[in-house]
Structure 1
Amino acid sequence: MKKVFYRGRFIFIPLAVAAFLSLISFVVMQLWNNLLPDILHLGTITFWQAMGIFILCKLLFGFGKGGGRPGWGGGGFMRARMAERFKNMSPEQQEKFKAKMRDRMCNWNDRDRGFGKFDREWNDFKAEGEKKGE
C-alpha cells in the first residue's frame, strides 16, 4: 500500500502544483482585466501573461514563509538560537549584552516608561536555555 502512495505522489504533487498555478493565474487575469483597465487605463492581459506576472511577483517579493518574518515576535528558530547563546554567557556578559541592546533599541522598553517586561524576557531566555541544556 505504501509503494502505491509513494508512486502516486510523484504524479499528484506536480498536478496539484499545476492546478494551483492555473487557478491563481486565472484569478490574477480576472482581477487585472476587471479592475486595472478602468482604474489605470491599462490594457487587458491573457492567461499566460497573468501567469508570468504571478511568477515574477513571487520571484521579486518572495514565496512567503508563513507566520511573518523570522526572528520577530514568536519566531521559533531565532528565539532558540538566542536562548542557546544567552545560556552560554556569564552573568557579566549577560549584563553587558542587555546594556548594549538597550542602547541599540534606544531604551524603548525601560521600566520608567511603563514597559516593564524587558527583564522578564531576558529571564525567559535564560530559562529556555537551561531547559534545553538538561
Structure 2
Amino acid sequence: MKDTTRFKARFLGRALLMLVAVAALGAVVMGLWNAIVPGLLSGAQVIDYPHALGLLVLCRILFGGFRGHGGWHGHRFGHRWHSMTPEEREQFRRGLRSKMESRMGHGPFGRDGAAE
C-alpha cells in the first residue's frame, strides 16, 4: 500500500511541477514578446497569455523538446558515434565528405583542383 501511495504522490508532484513550469514559461514568453517584438517589427502586436502558451506549443512542435536537447537531431546517432573507434569515425567522415563532394560536383579545392 505504501508503494502505490508514494507513486501517486510522486506522479501528482511531477504533474504539478510540470504545470507550474509551463505556466511560468508562458509568462516568460509573453513578457519577452511584449517587451521586444512590437518595438522591433512595425506590424507586430502585443500578445496575451493564451497566445503566449500557443506560441510555446507551436515552438515545441516545430523545434523540439524542452528537455535540454534539440528537436529533430536526437540521441540515436550520438550513441552510435560515441561507441565508434577513432578509425570508424575517420572512415565515416571520409564517406560523408565524398558524399558531399559528389553532390556538389567537385572536391574541396574547386573544379580545377586549385584552392578556392
With the length of structure 1 as denominator, give the TM-score of the two structures.
0.54
Q: Distance in 2 between matches of 1:35 and 1:101?
A: 42
Deviation per residue, 1:60-79 (Å, 9 max, x gap): 1111564564367xx3x213
Q: Distance in 1 between matches of 2:69 and 2:63?
A: 16
The aligned counterpart of 2:51 is 49
The answer on 1:102 being equivalent to 2:102 is no
Deviation per residue, 1:31-88 (Å, 9 max, x gap): 011111111131100001000000000001111564564367xx3x2136656xx7xx
Q: Which runs of 5+ in 2 are unaligned?
A: 99-116
- Percent of residue pairs identical: 27
Deviation per residue, 1:76-122 (Å, 9 max, x gap): x2136656xx7xxxxxxxxxx94x8525425xxxxxxxxxxxxxxxx
Counterpart of 1:105 in 2: which secondary structure? helix
Ranges of 4+ aligned residues in structure 1 off by more than 6 Å: none
Q: Distance in 2 between matches of 1:30 and 1:21?
A: 14
- Cα gap change, 1:15 to 1:44, in 2 (>3 Å): same
- Cα gap change, 1:17 to 1:102, in 2 (>3 Å): same
Amino acid at match of 1:51: L
